[in-house]
Amino acid sequence: MASRIQATVRQLSKSYKKKTKFDIGIATELPAAYKKFWHEWKVLKPAAVHFVPQEGKWKRDEITGETLPIQNIPIPLKYPAEFHEGIWGGEAVIKGFQKRDNRRRRVPHYWVPVLKRTVVRSEVLNTNLSVTVTDRTIRLINDHYGFDHYLLKTPACDLKSMLALKLKKQILTELMNGCHRHAHDPQKQKEIYEEYKTYLSSYTPEEIEWYGLSWYEALHKVAAQKEAANKPVPLKNIYRKNLVEKLKAAGIEEHKTATDELSTTTSWLSKMNPFGKKDEA
């Protein structure tokens, strides 16, 4: 008996899959394009900024000579609300402890990046933006030879902040539409399109549409699409249509004039007296 239960449990555990965010409610209807973005944003591991990862797979213990695997457990980061209003270049707040003396109790400490406000120039959008950044962001922008290149080349897991992702989406949309903001200068428009068009190859138009949406924005979008698709048709229109069809089936010649009259009278009435009495209509 016990062995049979064990066997069924084993079998079930193989086929059982834990429900994820995407398996509940309206989220089941999210398109693959959004799932791809979500994976890029939340599942992929961001680059190590606040710690130095150990290289290689194995290491040898110096004293015992034991071979041990190398497991880099990233330092957990905190993302305050302000994080999403700036572009911090992978930096974030670290909450932890300091042990300032071996004989003393550890003390809590927050390591907060130094933020400053600066101007970033987006070539594709043809605007200057005032943004909160860190020194690291400026260095990254310089290393990528420009703000647009930095945003377009960096995956969502490293950008992380909502502002950066929204800007990236806007830049991609603008590129897809052929840089309309430079329409006054066709030569520059062409130059900029040529420079940045390589980035378009990694996205389909649908993916760009679903890029940079937060979880709730994506759900709202799905709901709105669903609602627009299943827009209810007033029953009176359906009944009228049916009636006209029935009349037509009964005898076209006889009721042709009648149907015309009907349509004219109803339209005139609906215009002049929408809340008229029933016997009038």
Q: Which of 21, 39, 121, 248 binds another protein (CB under 8 A)?
A: 121
State which of positions 55-84 bind another protein (CB under 8 A).
Answer: 68-69, 71, 73, 75
Minimum distance from residue 64 beta carbon to another protein (Å): 14
For residue 150, the cross-strand partners are: none
Site string for another protein, 191-230 (x = CB under 8 A): ----------------------------------------
Instruction: For strands 67-69 and 58-60, give the pairing.
Output: antiparallel
State yes or no: residue 119 binds another protein (CB under 8 A).
yes
Minimum distance from residue 1 beta carbon to another protein (Å): 31
Which span (32-40, 118-126, 227-235, 249-257) binds another protein, by CB under 8 A? 118-126
Q: Which of 6, 8, 142, 204 binds another protein (CB under 8 A)?
A: 142
Residue that has been written with the tokens 């709730």 in this structure: 216
Cβ-in-10-Å burial (0-12, 13-18, 19+) of 115 comes to middle
For residue 109, the cross-strand partners are: 96
Give whichever of 9 and 47 is closer to another protein, judged by the CB atom: 47
Minimum distance from residue 14 beta carbon to another protein (Å): 17
Minimum distance from residue 87 beta carbon to another protein (Å): 14
Give whichever of 131 and 175 is closer to another protein, judged by the CB atom: 131
State yes or no: residue 186 binds another protein (CB under 8 A).
no
Residue that has been written with the tokens 């834990």 in this structure: 18
Residue that has been written with the tokens 């399109």 in this structure: 193
Give whichever of 93 and 247 is closer to another protein, judged by the CB atom: 93
Residue pair 156/165 in contact (Cβ under 8 Å)? The answer is yes
Residue 30 to residue 120: CA distance in whole angstroms: 34
Give whichever of 39 and 116 is closer to another protein, judged by the CB atom: 116
DSSP per-residue string spanning 6-47: HHHHHHHHHH-----GGGSGGGGG--HHHHHHHIIIIISPPP
State yes or no: residue 118 binds another protein (CB under 8 A).
yes
Which residues have a Cβ under 8 Å from the Cβ of 210 and sit 6 or more positions away?
31, 33, 34, 37, 218, 221
- Which H or E element spans position 130? strand 127-133
Q: Return the structure tokens found at 266.
A: 């109803």
Q: What angle do CA 84, 88, 91 make, to 5 degrees?
A: 110
Q: Which of 31, 36, 84, 138 binds another protein (CB under 8 A)?
A: 138
Which residues have a Cβ under 8 Å from the Cβ of 145 and sit 6 or more positions away?
none
Which residues have a Cβ under 8 Å from the Cβ of 42 and sit 6 or more positions away?
157
Minimum distance from residue 51 beta carbon to another protein (Å): 6
Minimum distance from residue 96 beta carbon to another protein (Å): 4
- Footprint on this chain of another protein (rule: CB under 8 A): 49-52, 68-69, 71, 73, 75, 91, 94-100, 102, 106, 109, 111, 113-114, 118-121, 128, 134-136, 138-139, 141-142, 145-146
